[in-house]
Amino acid sequence: MLAGYAYADAVTRWLSLKRQVMLHTALLGAAALTMPILVGEGWRPQGSEEPISRILLLLTATIGLPYFLLATTTPLVGAWYARRFQAAAPYRLFALSNLASLLALLGFPFLIEPQLGNRQVTWVWSALFGIFAVLCATLGWRTLQAGGAGAAPTAPPAEAQKGSNQNAAAPQAAVGSAVPTESGPWTWILLSAVGSAMLLGVTSHLTQNISSAPLLWVFPLALYLMTFIISFDHPRWYLRGLFLPLAGLSLPLMAWLSDSLALKQVTPVYALGLFVVCMACHGELARLKPAPSRLTAFYLCMSVGGALGSLFMAVLAPLVFDGYFELYAALVVAGLAGLTLPLVREPGVQRLLTRAAITGVVLLTAGLSWQGVKGYVDAVRFMERDFYGVVRTRDNATGGEPFRNLIHGAIAHGGQLLREDLRMAPSSYFGPTSGYGRVFASLPPGPHKVGVIGLGAGALAAYAKPGDDWVFYEISPAVVRAAMAEFTFLPQFPGRYELVVGDGRLALEREAPRQYDVLAMDAFAGDSIPTHLITREAMAAYVKHLKPDGVLVFQATNRFVNLMPVLHNLAQSFGMQAVLISDSPPTVDGPGYWLSSTDQVIVTRNPALLQAPAIREAAQPLQPDPGLPVFTDDYVNLVRILKW
């Protein structure tokens, strides 16, 4: 987007309208020739590569040019409009474009994705881009034919200029106003950067620290887009006397609630905070919008600010911070810049009172943020951050028995009892009455070959026996280091084990059949299984590695997604049987305190195993969803399986 806005600014500054249209038409044609935006097999990863650069290269090679040209539309077409009609800058089109973005954001997961597969979506989008390219090129040539080749206006029409000088909130300013003398590129950049940083900070905090509920990230982005729509639609919607004080109250409140995990209570506060802070930033940007001659520069500065805020939150913060601390930085910066910039030129005594209030807000927010950071790291023994999240370990003696937890984001992913004679005892989600416990109790005498997708603390190794041969697949290097440094399951492993660092499914697809007796699916991103691990193609890779009488066990415990009909369909499509083991151990002091309630699904072609007493007494049939298709790499309907 930054590149697109920079291009629009450059061509309108340095090229005649004719050359602008010719160049843009050529680029649109080149992009149309790259359709459809299907990814070739050559991009398929091995699973162990460094992910960031590969993802960026993939996106650049597939959607880079089309997205670049889409990003030029608002500033470039706006400049053509002002040039053709010698009119005030059509800033209201910016509100309209953000409204369209909001509709697409909400429509895709709820309307489009449930109806179409990925390939169908790709073909439809590619066709629509072709139509867009024709319309955009036609618009440019019609503008040229209409006599818009003259110089761009350097100031808004007299009526608009008069209205904006008399009253910044006059209706005429909805489409263009003279720039107030205190505004400039740095002000535009900083206000935009604060809004962008707040968006990413709140989204990361809600989805990583509080809950990994699917589609939760859609809500903050929708609010962010709404603030642009409201601010740039008409000046009357931005009430400075309302939004700036609300922003000042919201910042310390958000910092105060940062260590709360109560999703239903915290989400409204964070939603309101994000909304009012972004309304303050984007409302001030709308007040400072310049004359048509600086339209593309204004959009470019907003894009620079958005990119800087995003780069800090998404690139620099993970390199600088071991934990999810970027929200605290965003809150403090929002107080320093988001409140100070709009009010820096308040007159006389009001300026002193305003500065005192802002200072109080910033100091209170910083103090409460520091308390949040301390709570996050309190009693943490190990903390490391990589591309896949933050991994922490923390000791806890609740229930009378010392226990060490492995925490990924906000979710505890098992752990280990610390008493010497209990270190290899099953605990957390892997107790004796869990699905895993019942499967291992029902296997014929060993040794056994076992595969585990998702290492965690290595707690499933409590069931390993001398002579066993186990393979652990783990995508996160930080998880591997935590398991080796903080837990003894692997160092004290009684048999032979192999550790494969990389995506488990991709590793299984490229390996020769392993002939596993048991294959455990225990990979989680936060609180849910990544969807590429529950498709028909993934199931084919699992079945390839099982013995004919082998068993596949899915960890299906989830607060937000009902995986049972998905797993039922996968089992049926491969002619296998599936049963559910729901385990709810009683809470008692001692080692039993660290046994967790869990749902696990056993999938096998071996009816004798399912008739083993340990499994038969607890097995429940999976409840199918008659209208739910089998999930594939091309089709996943997450909305359909949400627990509303």
State pLDDT tens for residues 398-447. Answer: 888 999 999 987 778 889 999 999 999 999 999 999 999 999 999 999 89
CA distance 29 to 34: 9
**∠ Cα 636 641 642 (to 5°):** 120
Reported confidence tier of residue 285, pLDDT bands at 50, 70, 90: very high
Helix ranges (DSSP H) in 156-217:
158-166, 185-204
Cβ neighbourhood burial of 150 (10 Å; 0-12, 13-18, 19+): exposed
The number of helix segments (H) and strand segments (E) in the chain equals 23, 12
CA distance 225 to 106: 11
| Length reported for the chain | 644
pLDDT of 522 higher than 70? yes
CA distance 275 to 243: 9
pLDDT of 458 higher than 90? yes
Q: What is the pLDDT of residue 336?
A: 85
CA distance 333 to 323: 18
pLDDT of 348 higher than 80? no
All residues at 6 or more sequence positions from 446 whose CB lies less than 8 Å from its CB, including other chains: 465, 467, 468
1 residue type, one letter:
M
CA distance 23 to 255: 49
Residue with tokens 């999240």: 389
Averaged pLDDT, 106-121: 90
How much helix, strand and coil, in percent to the nearest 5, is found in the chain? 55, 15, 30
Q: What is the pLDDT of residue 318?
A: 86
CA distance 299 to 23: 20
Averaged pLDDT, 354-367: 88
Q: What is the pLDDT of residue 148?
A: 53
* Fold observed for domain 389-641: Rossmann fold (3.40.50)
- List pLDDT tens digits, range 532-578: 999 999 999 999 999 999 999 999 988 888 999 999 999 999 999 99
Most confident range, picked from 52-56, 82-86, 113-117, 449-453: 449-453
CA distance 630 to 416: 37
CA distance 537 to 531: 11
Which of 43-47, 90-94, 112-116, 492-496 comes out lowest in average pLDDT? 43-47
Which of 205-214, 264-273, 545-554 comes out lowest in average pLDDT? 205-214
Give the N- to C-terminal CA distance of the chain in Å, as an integer. Answer: 35
Report the DSSP beta bridge partners of residue 619. 581
Averaged pLDDT, 267-287: 93
Averaged pLDDT, 377-391: 91
From the candidate CATH numbers 1.20.1250, 3.90.1570, 1.10.3470, 3.40.1350, the one assigned to the domain spanning 173-377? 1.20.1250
Higher pLDDT pick, 550 / 523: 550
- Nearest Cα residue to 396 out of 546, 116, 593: 593
CB–CB of 232/92 below 8 Å? Answer: yes
Reported confidence tier of residue 170, pLDDT bands at 50, 70, 90: very low
Cβ neighbourhood burial of 617 (10 Å; 0-12, 13-18, 19+): exposed
Q: What is the pLDDT of residue 526?
A: 61
Which of 10-14, 346-350, 446-450 comes out lowest in average pLDDT? 346-350
Where exactly are the structural domains of the chain?
1-40+56-153, 173-377, 389-641
Q: Left (φ > 0), alpha (ψ -120 to 50) or beta: where does 89 sit?
A: beta
All residues at 6 or more sequence positions from 447 whose CB lies less than 8 Å from its CB, including other chains: 465, 466, 467, 468, 469, 495
Q: What is the pLDDT of residue 151?
A: 43
CA distance 125 to 131: 10
CA distance 317 to 322: 9
pTM value? 0.87
- List pLDDT tens digits, range 216-262: 889 999 999 999 999 999 888 999 889 989 999 999 999 998 887 77
CA distance 547 to 544: 8
